[in-house]
Structure 1
Amino acid sequence: MKRAGLILGALVLLLIFLGGWWLISRPDRGTTGEVSTRFRLMGANDKIVVDGFDDPKVKGVACHISRAQTGGIKGTIGLAEDTSDASIACRQIGPISFVDEIEDGEPVFDERRSLLFKHLQVVRFFDRTRNVLVYVSYSDRVIEGSPKNSISTVPIMPWPNP
C-alpha cells in the first residue's frame, strides 16, 4: 500500500512537471507581464497574468489575454484551480492573410486552469457578412463550464504599404 502511494505521488509530480514544461516551452506565446493582486504568506501571490499570442492560421493578428492565477502553496505546486475570470483583446498588427482554411469555433489558444479538468480556451469565428474575425475566451470543465467569457473583434482592413 505504501509503495502504491509513492508511485502515485511520483506520477502526479511528473504530470505537474510535464504540464509546466509544455506551457513554458510553447514558442507561439509569451508572458507579457503580471501584477500581484493578493499577498500570500506561504507560496506565490495571487496575480493577474497577461500573455500574448499570434493566431496560428491568420497572419497579421495578435491577441493578449489576461487571466487570474491563484497563488499560495497549492498554486505554487500546480494544484490550485484558477478562477474562470479572463479578458481578451485582439488587434490587426500587419496585413492579414490566411495561412490555411479557417473554421468557425476553431481553437487558437488553450491553457490548463486546474490539474486535470479545467481549461481556458480562445476560439475564433469569421463573420463573413461584416468581414470581421471574432475571438471568444471562456473556461470549460469536463462536467460544467463557466458562463464567464470575453470577446474581441478584428475588422479585416487593408494595410498600408511602407
Structure 2
Amino acid sequence: MKKRWIFWLGLVCAAMGNAQAEQVGSVDTVFKLFGPDHKIVIEAFDDPDVKNVTCYISRAKTGGLKGGLGLAEDTADAAISCQQVGPIALSDKIKNGKSEGTVVFQKRTSLVFKKLQVVRFYDAKRNALVYLTYSDKVIDGSPKNALSAVPIIPWGEGK
C-alpha cells in the first residue's frame, strides 16, 4: 500500500512540473544506443506577473532508458537569460516584494525530490528585475545557480 501511494505521489509531482515553459530547441550531447540521447534543452517562459519579460533556460536532460521513461535524474546544470520584449509596468506588489524573491518558474528534474527553479527579485535602486535559477538539491555543499538581470527601460518612447 505504501509503495502504491509513493508511486502516485511521484506521478502527480512529475505532471505538475510540465507547466509554463515551451521548448525552443535542443542539441544532443551523448549518443545512447537505447532510449533518447543525453541533450541540452532550451526552453522559454514568460514571467507570469510581469508582462513583456521572457526568460530562456538551457538545461541538461538525461537520456537513455531511464530518461526515456522519465525516471532519470537530470544534472543541476542550467543557464538563464531574460530580456525585456516590450514595455514593462511593475505592480506595487512587485515593487514592494519580499527580499526572498518570488518563484516564477519550476521544473521537475527528477521523479520526486529535485527541481529547477527561477526566482525573481526587484532591485529598486537600479530599477531592474533579477532572475536567479538554481537546483533545489544540494550539490557538493552548495546548489548550482545562474543569474540574469533585466533593466527596466522606456520602450518605444520618442518615436
TM-score by length of 1: 0.83
Equivalent-residue separation in structure 2 for 1:136 and 1:21 (angstroms):
23
Provide structure 1 residue ranges, at least 5 long, that are not aligned to the other structure.
none
Equivalent-residue separation in structure 2 for 1:64 and 1:101 (angstroms):
24
Identity of aligned residues (%): 50
Matches for 1:11-26 after TM superposition, within 5 Å? 12=7, 15-16=10-11, 18=12, 21-24=15-18, 26=19
Equivalent-residue separation in structure 1 for 2:9 and 2:115 (angstroms):
19
Q: Equivalent residue for 1:133?
A: 129
Bigger relative contact order (CA 8 A; separation at least 6)? 2
Aligned length: 152
The yes-or-no answer on 1:49 pairing with 2:44 is no
Specify the code of the residue in structure 2 equivalent to 1:62.
Answer: T
Q: Contact conserved, 1:60 with 1:97, CA < 8 A, in 2?
A: no
Q: Equivalent residue for 1:119?
A: 115
Give the CA RMSD over aligned residues: 2.3
The yes-or-no answer on 1:92 pairing with 2:84 is yes
Matches for 1:1-162 after TM superposition, within 5 Å? 8=4, 12=7, 15-16=10-11, 18=12, 21-24=15-18, 26=19, 28-98=20-90, 101-102=93-94, 103=97, 104=99, 105-141=101-137, 144=138, 146-161=142-157
Equivalent-residue separation in structure 1 for 2:134 and 2:128 (angstroms):
20
